Amino acid sequence: MADIHPTVIIDKEAEIADSVSIGPYSIIGPKVFIDKDTKIGSHVVIHSHTKIGKGCQIYSFASIGGSPQDLKYKGEETWVEIGNYNIIREYVTINRGTARGGGITRLGDHNLLMAYVHIAHDCQIGNRVILANVATLGGHVEIEDCAIIGGLTAIHQFVKIGAYAILGGKSGAVKDIPPYVTAWGPRARLYGLNLIGLKRHGFAPEVIKALKRAYRLIIYAKKPLKEVIAEVKADPIFAVPEVAHFVEFIETSKRGVPRR
């Protein structure tokens, strides 16, 4: 049986699973679907067209499913999709997608969004991502699994952040940040691999060694990027899946990646 405070307002088109709890003065709008065991605090607004998975925790004053902050948006039916076991802290805002951007803002599973995080329209967030306080994502940002974004950090629209990367606090990312690296700065630069993170996640020493070589060859090279990537692809380290991912990310980057 759902535990819903009597002050909660729920639209007749919303669907709330059993075992969901909703705190005082929250508002659940039309076409909202909330799966079992999710807990919603007080004064939360879930505007409309939002799907929330099971076991999530959403804290006070979060605003989810609001219209995209995009002047091209003309009221099309677009969505927010939130996976399972996410923690969404106070004052987080997550906007719906746009028709031009694919129509869905998506958050995977087991993510932590700290207070005042903003996720703009059409962002695609993977699994086990951490967004620290006041991290701000422009539209169409993509963040791969297990990345960490520091507090007070702004990510430019259409930027992509790679898996297991860490972007330090008070940074501004205007270019793509490759997987497995550490980046920081007002126009974020690369500062080597995220060695602590890779070790914590159990990456084998030989994988880390191969990534180090790939990083040196690509990031420090003074040759044209296309030429350097061809050399890495011919190197035995390219057989390591993580190296192949690192190279493919850089090769297909649309905004480019920081290089020395």
Taking only the tens place, the pLDDT of each residue in 115-163 is 999 999 999 999 999 999 999 999 999 999 999 999 999 999 999 999 9
Of 49, 118, 121, 156, which one is the catalytic site residue?
A: 121
Per the annotation, the verdict on 172 as an active-site residue is no
Second-level CATH architecture of 3-140: 3 Solenoid (2.160)
Tens digit of pLDDT at every position of the chain (260 positions): 789 999 999 999 999 999 999 999 999 999 999 999 999 999 999 999 999 999 999 999 999 999 999 999 999 999 999 999 999 999 999 999 999 999 999 999 999 999 999 999 999 999 999 999 999 999 999 999 999 999 999 999 999 999 999 999 999 999 999 999 999 999 999 999 999 999 999 999 999 999 999 999 999 999 999 999 999 999 999 999 999 999 999 999 999 999 86
Phi and psi at residue 130, to the nearest 5°:
-115, 125
Q: What is the DSSP letter of 69?
A: S
What whole-number distance in Å separates Cα of residue 39 and Cα of residue 55? Answer: 7
pTM of the model: 0.97
In the residue annotation, 49 being an active-site residue is answered as no
Q: Which two tokens stand for residue 86?
A: 């996410």
Our CA angle for 183, 229, 223, nearest 5°, is: 85
Whether 122 is a known active-site residue: answer yes
Whether the CB-CB separation of 34 and 11 falls below 8 Å is answered with no
The dihedrals phi and psi of 14, each to the nearest 5 degrees, come to -80, 150
Q: What does the alpha-carbon distance between residue 203 and residue 195 come to, in Å, rounded to a whole number?
A: 9
Candidate CATH numbers 3.30.70, 1.20.1180, 1.10.3860, 3.40.50; the one for domain 198-252: 1.20.1180
Domain spans, the chain? 3-140, 198-252
The active-site residue, picked from 23, 65, 101, 139, is: 139
Q: Which of 122, 150, 176, 197 is catalytic?
A: 122
φ, ψ (nearest 5 deg) of residue 42: -80, 150
